[in-house]
Amino acid sequence: MASFLPELEGTSPIVTGATRPGVWYNIHDITNDFIDRIVTPTSEINDTSSFIPNMWARIILFKKAQAMQENPLNRELRGLTAALVLRKLYNINVEFVPYDFANSPINNVAKTLYEGNIDSLYFIKINSITVAGFMKSGDYTGFFTSACYALSSKLIPWYNENTGIFDDPYRAETFGIYDSALIKGALRSWRDRMNIQDPIFNNWQHEPSIICTFPSDRIPSLDDQHPLSIYTSAVDIPVKNIFIERGEYFADDDYVVLPINSKGYEDIDTYLKTLNGTTGTNRPAFKIKPGGTVRVEIDKENHLVFEKKYSKMEQIELPAVCIWPNFKADDWGDYYVWGCKYEKFTNRLENNDINIEPMYEKGITLGGPIKSDYSRTWHCNKQPLCVKVTINDNEVGVIPVNVADGNGIDVNLQYEISIDFGTTHTVVARKIAGDDTSISHLNIHDRVIWMTSKTHNLSLTERVATDIFEFMERDFMPSRGQLDKSDSRLASFPTLYKRKTNQQGHAPILDGVAVLAKKEMPPYSLTGSASITDRIADAIEKMSHKVFVEKLKWGHPNDNTENNTNFELTAYIHHLMKLIKAEMRYDGCTKFKIRWAYPIAMNQIRQDTLSNIFGDTPGDKRCISESEAIAYFFDASINSAEPNLIIDIGGGTTDITLYSKDKIDDGKQKAKPGLECSLRFAGNICKEYLIKHKDIITDNLNYFSGDLVKSKEFIEALLVAMPENTLSVLLSLHSGKFSGYVDSNVPIPKLEELRKLIEFAYGAIFYYSGLMLSAAGINPARAEIFCAGNGWGHVDWVFGSNNKYLSNDDNNVFKSVFTTAYKKIPLTINNKPDKRKFEVAKGLLLADSVFNKNNTNNQKAPARPVAGLNAGAGVSSRIPLAKDFVIGEDGFKAKNVAIPFVTRIGDGNNLIDDFMPAVFKQYDKFVLSLTDNDAAINHNNTAILSSDAIKSHVQSLLRKNVKDGKLLINEPLFITIVRVAINKIWKLAL
C-alpha cells in the first residue's frame, strides 16, 4: 500500500498486512525493510562523514564500512594499508603518535559523544602529516583515514592529488603500469603471507575482472563454431520431457541453451537410435511442433544440447564443466570434475542461480566439492555418470559424461621417471626400465575433457582465476583437496612467443612438449575491459611458479620451520605425480621408479623435505644432486674417466662443480663431487639489464601484435615478470630482426654494452671458478663447461650466435679469464647439448648404467636413502674441502669458513692483477668506491679513481676479510664485487 515515506526500492510491502490509511504501522526490520531500500541518487558524495550526527562520524562510517566490501572508505583504507605495507619500498616515514585526551572542551565533547570508552587513539603520520588514525575502543578498533591530508603522489603514487585521498593501489591508474603491477604483486603477496581474512582486502587477490577475453554476453549462435552444435537434428518429443522451461528468466528473442533432464536424455537417445543411417550432417533437421519448438543439437559424441527461441527470455548459459582424466579404467581411481560459471567471473558461482553437481553410481566415494569463489571441484574414485545442472535449486537437466576406455595394463612395462626441478621449470623424463635408448621426455598431455562448450574457451587466465590448485589448462591440479590450505598457488607462464607461433615452449612442467603450448595469452589480448595494469599484474602473478620454485630453493631458511614450504612443495609434487601417473596409466604402465635431482645449493632441510615427500610415492626411489646427475650424463655421453669441472649457468643460479671418479672401499666406482659451489648470480643479470634497456628488444616485442607492446610500461612489466628461460626463447625467436643488429656490424651501443656486461659477469664466474680450483689445489684433467642453463641462452642471442654454442671470440674471453685465475690448464668449452635441461633428467636415468659400466663387479649404483642425505653415503663421500665451498643456503648463515686460498693473500703475488684481468679494463670508467662495511657505491668519484685505484680498493677489501692469516668468506666476496660493478654500470648507463 502507499505510505508517507520516500520512494523505496522494490515492490514488496514494507510491512505485510499494512493496508489501512491513517494507521501507524511498525517496521520490524528497519534496515532491510526501509533503510536499505531508500532510493538514493547515484552521484558520489565526497564528505559523507559530516552527515552523521556525531562528532565521531568518521569512525562510525569506517566501522560500518567494515561490513561492506565495496565501500569508498574501504578503498581509501586499502590505500592507507598499502602505504604502511610498502613503506620500506617507497621510503615512507611512518609514525604512530598517541593522542592525549587532555581536559579541554573539544576533548570533553569528544568523550561524551563517543559510544563507549576509548582505550587509545593514535595518529598515523606520514612524513609528519597526519593521514590517519588508529582507534582502539570497545565500539571500534581499527584504522580510519584523516578527513584531509595533503601528500605528494611522487612520494606515494597511489595518493590521488586530485581527490586528496589514497586510492586503492590495486585500482589506481595514477601511476605507471610498471609500478602498479609490482605493487599489486606485492600486495597480493602481503595479503597471502599475512593470511589477511578481512573481506575488505578481498580485492587484493587474483582479480576476476581481469577476465577480459570471455565471449560476448550472448552465447554464440549455434551456427557458429559451437562444439555442441555441429549437427542438427530434431526429436518429436514433448518439450516438457526434455527440460524444464524457465520462461520467466528470458527476454524477447534470446536464445537459450539448456541441458536436458535425465528422462529427456533417455528419450532422445532412444529416438535417435531409430534414425536409421542418418549420421553427422546428413541427419535430418526438423522442428518440434508449435508450443514447444526445440532444436536438438547433437555433437559427434552424441552430446545433446537444445536451442529454443522463447518469446520472453533472457539468456542462461551452461557452466563450463570438464572432467580429468580422459580415460576410464577399473584400476584408475582418480577422477576430478570441475565446473565453473563462465559467464562472468564477477558473478561468483555461489551467488548465481546456476549450480552443478556430478552424479555417480551408488556406492562411489565422492569427495568435495572443493569450493573456490568461482568454481567447484569434485573428486571421485570412479568417473561420474553425468553432471546435474540446477537453476534456483530446480533441476533443469544433465550434461552427459562420455569418457573412452583407457588402454589395458601391460604387466611387463615399467618406467623409470626422472624429475629435475629447476628455478624456471621442471623437466620430466622417462625410460623403459633397462633400456637407455628409450629415454625421452615424458609428455604430459591434455587429458581434460570438456563436457560443455569449449567455444567459450576458458583460456588460461580465466581458468587460473578459478584457482590454480584446481585447474590449469593441461595440468589438473588436484592437490588442494588433500591439503586444505589456500595460501599458495602454482601457476605457469607459457613463453610468450607461443601466442604467436604456437611453438613449443617452457612451462613449469617441461615435458618435452610444451605445456600450455596451444593457448593464447589472454592478459595480453586487447579485447575485454580489464585495464592494462590489471592484465600485466595478472601476468606477473602467472610467474608464481618461478616465485614458488625460488621460494623452494632460496626462500629464507626460517620458512622451513613452518609448514609453508612443505605444503607448497608437497602440493606441487602431488600434482606432478598425478599427471605423471595418468600418463603412465594411459600407456598401460603402472610400475615405475622415481629419480629426482635437487640443486646443490638446496640446504639439507629442503633436501630432506623433498625426500620425505617423495617418500610417500610408491616404487623404487633415488635422489642425487643436479650436478651429480650431470656428471653421470657426461660420463655416459663423453665416456670420460677424468674429473670434470661443470659450470652450469642457469636462470637464477650458477653451479660450479668438480666431479671425479673415485674408488670407494668396496671397490666400486662412482662419480663423486670434488668441489661444489652455487652462486645466485646467473642469467638473471641479463634480464635485469634488459629491463633497464628495453629498447634493445623492442623489435622483438613487436612480434606480438597489439597496442600493448607500444607501451614502455608494459614491456618493462613484462620483462620483470618473465622467467629467464622465457626471455631466452623470446630473444632468440625473432632472430632475423635481432640478429640484424649483430650482423650489420653496427650494433646499437646498448647491445654492445650488454655484451660487455655479459663478458664481465660471466667472465667473473669463470674467473671465480678458476680461483676456486687454484685455491683448492685440485687439478682436474679437464675443465669442462656444461653449457646448460638459461644463462647460456642469453649469451646465444646477445652475441648473435644463436647456434647453441659460443663463438670462438666469446669462448676466448671466458677461457682467458679462467686461465688467468687458474693457470694450470686451459679451459675447454664444448658444444652445448640441444636440450640442456633435459640432460639432467637424462643423467638421472643413466646413473645406474654409468655406475655399472664403471663398476667392475657390474653392480648397480647404491640407491641413496630417501631421507638419509644428512649422514648418508652422498655426504660422506664428498671431499671435505668441497663441502666448505658450497655457498648455498647454508652458506648465507654467515658461517666462517677457512680455506687454504688464504695463503695467496700474503705471498707477494699480484693478486689484484689476477682479480682484474685486462679484459675488464674497459670498465675503468665505472668507478667503484666500496665502503668498508658493504658494497655501497659512490657515484661521484669518477674523475679520481682509476683502474689501479679500483684494484687497490678491492685488494684492501679482501685483506680486511683476513683473520689469523685466513680469508673469511660469508659469501663469495668476489661475486659481490662483480654485482656492485654491474650495478654501477647500469646506473651510469641509464
Partner 1 sequence: MSRYYIITIGGTGARCLESLVHLSASGVFDKNVSVLHIDADKDNGNWGRAFTALNHYKKIKHLIGTNNTDFFRHNIGEGAIEERRDDIWFYPLPENEEGGYYTSLNNFSGNSELTEILFTSGIRADKWDIGFKGRSSLGSIATAQAFEWNKRPWDKLRSDITTSLSNSKEVRVFFIGSIFGGTGSSIFPTIGKLFDNQFGANSNFFLGGSILLPYFTYTVPNGEQDNYAKPADFLVKTRQHMDYYKSLPFKKIYMLGETERKGVSASIGAKDQENPPHHLEMLAILAANNFFELNRDNIINIPPTDKFSFLGRKTRGKVIWEDLPELPGKQVNETKLLTFTTMSCSFIGFWYKLLRDDKYFKRSEWYIKHIGKDPDIDKNMEVLKEYLEDYFLTWLLGLHVQCGERDKKEYKDWILEADIYKVIETCLFSTEILKDFLKDVSGAGLNKLKWRPSDGKGGYVPKEEDAYDFLWKSACDTELLERISGYGSLSRVFHILCETSKKFMDINYSS
Position 413, amino acid: L
Q: Which is nearer to partner 1, 41 or 408 (CB)?
A: 41
Question: How far is residue 915's CA from residue 878's CA, in Å, rounded to a whole number?
Answer: 29
Interactions with partner 1, residue window 128-187 (CB under 8 A): 130, 132-133, 146-148
162/745 with CB nearer partner 1: 162
What residues from 199 to 228 belong to the interface with partner 1 (CB under 8 A)? Answer: none
Residue closest to 861 by CA, chosen among 626, 622, 631, 645? 622
Taking the complex as a whole, how short is the minimal distance between the CB of residue 57 and partner 1, in angstroms? 4
Yes or no: say if 408 and 588 are a contact pair by the CB < 8 Å rule. Answer: yes
The answer to the question of residue 562 lying near partner 1 (CB under 8 A) is no
Check whether the bond before 105 is cis (ω within 30° of 0): no
Cβ proximity to partner 1: between 167 and 254 the closer is: 167
Nearer residue to partner 1 within complex by CB, 123 or 450: 123
Tell which phi-psi region holds residue 247, choosing left (phi > 0), alpha (psi between -120 and 50) or beta: alpha
Q: In this chain, which stretch among 99-107, 409-417, 545-553, 564-572 interacts with partner 1, using CB under 8 A?
A: 99-107
The binding track of 55-94 with respect to partner 1, each residue x by CB under 8 A or -, is: xxxx-xx--x------------------------------
Closer to partner 1 by CB, 121 or 919: give it: 121
With CB under 8 A as the contact rule, the residue among 92, 110, 366, 709 that binds partner 1 is 110
Measured distance CA(536)–CA(543) in Å, rounded = 11
Q: Toward partner 1, which CB reaches closer, 53 or 363?
A: 53
Asked if 25 interacts with partner 1 (CB under 8 A), we say yes
Quick one: 49 or 544, whose CB is closer to partner 1?
Answer: 49
The residues, any chain, with a CB within 8 Å of residue 154's CB and separated by 6 or more, are none
Q: Segment contacting partner 1 (CB under 8 A): 106-114, 686-694, 734-742, 944-952?
A: 106-114
Between the CA of residue 167 and those of 78, 83, 650, what are the distances in Å? 8, 10, 40
Q: Is residue 529 close enough to count as binding partner 1 by CB under 8 A?
A: no
User: Which range, of 19-27, 463-471, 649-657, 776-784, touches partner 1 by CB under 8 A?
Assistant: 19-27
Min CB(93)–partner 1 separation in Å: 18
* Cβ contact 403:416 at 8 Å: no
When binding is defined by CB under 8 A, the residue of 90, 99, 143, 704 that contacts partner 1 is 99
Which of 16, 32, 54, 152 lies at the binding interface for partner 1 (CB under 8 A)? 54
C-beta closer to partner 1: residue 110 or 988: 110
First to last CA, the chain: 73
Burial class (CB in 10 A: 0-12, 13-18, 19+), 694: middle
Instruction: State the Cα–Cα distance between residues 504 and 925, nearest whole angstrom.
Output: 43
In this chain, which of 113, 641, 781, 936 binds partner 1, going by CB under 8 A?
113
- Contact flag: residue 749 with partner 1 (CB under 8 A): no
Q: Which three cell numbers stand for residue 317?
A: 548459459
Any residues with CB less than 8 A from the CB of 195 and at least 6 apart, and which? Answer: 487
The per-residue b/e assignment along 713-723, b for 16 or more CB within 10 angstroms, e otherwise, is: bbbbbbbbbbb
What are the strands of the beta sheet with 94-98, ordered from one edge?
94-98, 118-126, 129-137, 141-145
Out of 9, 10, 16, 29, the only residue in the binding site for partner 1 (CB under 8 A) is 29
Paired residues of 379 in beta bridges: 336, 367
Shortest Å, Cβ 34 to partner 1: 7
Alpha carbon 20 to chain centroid distance?
Answer: 64
Amino acid at the residue 715:
I
Cβ nearer to partner 1, comparing 19 with 443: 19
52 binds partner 1 (CB under 8 A): yes
Which residue's CB is nearer to partner 1, number 29 or number 350?
29
Q: What residues from 31 to 50 belong to the interface with partner 1 (CB under 8 A)?
A: 31, 34-35, 38-41, 43, 45, 47-50
Segment contacting partner 1 (CB under 8 A): 12-20, 86-94, 366-374, 450-458? Answer: 12-20
The cell numbers describing 501, all together, are 607461433
- Our CB check for partner 1 shows the closer of 104 and 302 to be 104
30 vs 746 by CB, closer to partner 1: 30
- Alpha carbons 374 and 338: distance in angstroms, whole number: 11
Residue 6 CB, shortest distance to partner 1, in Å, is 4
Residue 59 Cβ, how far from partner 1 at the closest point, in Å?
8
Q: How far is the CB of 114 from partner 1 (least distance, A)?
A: 11
d(CA 183, CA 654): 29
To the nearest 10°, report the CA torsion of 689, 690, 695, 696.
Answer: 100
Nearest distance in Å: CB 790, partner 1 = 52
Binding residues for partner 1, total number by CB under 8 A: 63
Q: What are the residues whose beta carbons fall under 8 Å from the beta carbon of 848, sequence distance 6 or more?
A: 860, 861
- Which lies closer to partner 1 via its Cβ, residue 4 or residue 707? 4
Least CB distance from residue 41 to partner 1, whole Å?
Answer: 6
**Rounded to whole angstroms, how far apart are CA atoms 741 and 748?**
7
In the complex with partner 1, the residue whose CB is nearer, 140 or 797, is 140
Q: Cβ of residue 134: shortest distance to partner 1, in angstroms?
A: 11
The only residue of 12, 51, 437, 665 in contact with partner 1, by rule CB under 8 A: 51
Set of cell numbers at residue 836: 640442456
CB of 30 to partner 1, least distance (A): 5
Residue nearer to partner 1 on the CB measure, 83 or 886: 83
Q: Are 974 and 768 in contact (CB under 8 A)?
A: yes
The residue from 9, 16, 19, 896 that contacts partner 1 (CB under 8 A) is 19
- State the greatest distance between any 2 C-alpha atoms of the chain, in Å, as a whole number: 110
Q: Among 28-36, 348-356, 617-625, 935-943, which window interacts with partner 1 (CB under 8 A)?
A: 28-36
**C-alpha cell at position 20:** 489501512
Q: Nearest approach, Cβ of 54 to partner 1 (angstroms)?
A: 5
Q: What is the CA radius of gyration of the chain?
A: 33
Q: Which residues 6+ apart lie within 8 Å of 744 measured at CB?
A: none
Nearest to 506 by CA among 498, 514, 497: 514
Q: Is the CB of residue 780 less than 8 Å from the CB of residue 660?
A: yes
Residues 6+ apart with CB under 8 A from 764: 817, 974, 975, 978
Considering only the stretches 5-13, 490-498, 747-755, 776-784, report the one whose residues sit in contact with partner 1 under the rule CB under 8 A: 5-13
Among residues 160 and 726, whose Cβ is nearest to partner 1? 160
Least Cβ distance, residue 547 to partner 1 (angstroms): 39
CA distance 590 to 584: 6
Among 1, 275, 664, 962, interactor with partner 1 by CB under 8 A: 1
Residue from 11, 12, 22, 291 that binds partner 1 (CB under 8 A)? Answer: 22
- Site for partner 1, residues 888 to 947, rule: CB under 8 A: none
Count other Cβ atoms within 10 Å, centred on residue 935: 17
Sign of CA dihedral 515, 517, 519, 522: positive
Identity of the residue, 89 or 148, whose beta carbon is nearer to partner 1 in the bound complex: 148
- In the complex with partner 1, which residue's Cβ is closer, 25 or 255? 25
The residue count of the chain comes to 990
Residue type, 372: S
Residue 6 as a binder of partner 1 (CB under 8 A): the answer is yes
Quick one: CA dihedral 629, 635, 637, 638, positive or negative? positive
Position 836 contacts partner 1 (CB under 8 A): no
Q: Where do contacts with partner 1 occur on this chain (CB under 8 A)?
A: 1-7, 14-15, 18-31, 34-35, 38-41, 43, 45, 47-58, 60-61, 64, 99, 104-107, 109-110, 112-113, 115, 123, 130, 132-133, 146-148
